[in-house]
Structure 1
Amino acid sequence: MAVSALKWQGWLVALVCVAGMMVFAPLGLYVWAGGAPQPRPGSAAREDVRITDCRIDPASRRVVASVEAVNRFPGTGAYVVTVEFREKETRAPGDRWAQALVKIPGVAPGAAEHGDSLGPVWPPDTVPWCGVAAAEFTEAAPVQ
Structure 2
Amino acid sequence: MSALKWQGWLVGLVAIAGLLVFAPLGLYVWASGGEPQAEPPRAAVEDVRVTGCRVDPASRRVTAAVEATGRGEGVGAYVVTVEFRDRAEADPGRRAAQALVRIPGVAPAATEYGEAVGPVWPVATVPWCGVAGAEFTPAAPTPGATAP
TM-score of the superposition, structure 1-length normalised? 0.69
CA distance in structure 2 between the aligned counterparts of 1:48 and 1:77, rounded to whole angstroms: 12
Match of 2:125 in 1: 126
Match of 2:51 in 1: 52
Segment drifting more, 92-101 vs 75-84 = 92-101
Q: CA deviation at 1:74?
A: 2.7
| Secondary structure of 2:43 counterpart | helix
1:34-55, Cα deviation, whole Å (9 max, x unpaired): xxxxxxx7x6100000000000
CA distance in structure 1 between the aligned counterparts of 2:83 and 2:135, rounded to whole angstroms: 15
8 A Cα contact 2:50 2:129, kept in partner: yes
Counterparts in 2 of 1:1-144, with a 5 A limit? 44-144=43-143
| Secondary structure of 1:47 counterpart | helix
Bigger-Rg structure (1/2) = 2
8 A Cα contact 2:73 2:138, kept in partner: no
Q: CA deviation at 1:102?
A: 0.2
CA distance in structure 2 between the aligned counterparts of 1:138 and 1:113, rounded to whole angstroms: 15
Task: Give the % identical residues.
Answer: 68
Consecutive unaligned residues of structure 1, counting only runs of 5 or more, are 1-40
CA distance in structure 2 between the aligned counterparts of 1:46 and 1:73, rounded to whole angstroms: 15
Looking at both structures, which has the greater relative contact order when contacts are Cα pairs under 8 Å and sequence separation is at least 6? 1
Structure 1 residue runs of 4+, over 3 Å off? none
Q: CA deviation at 1:73?
A: 2.2
TM-score of the superposition, structure 2-length normalised? 0.67
Q: CA deviation at 1:95?
A: 1.7
| Secondary structure of 1:142 counterpart | coil
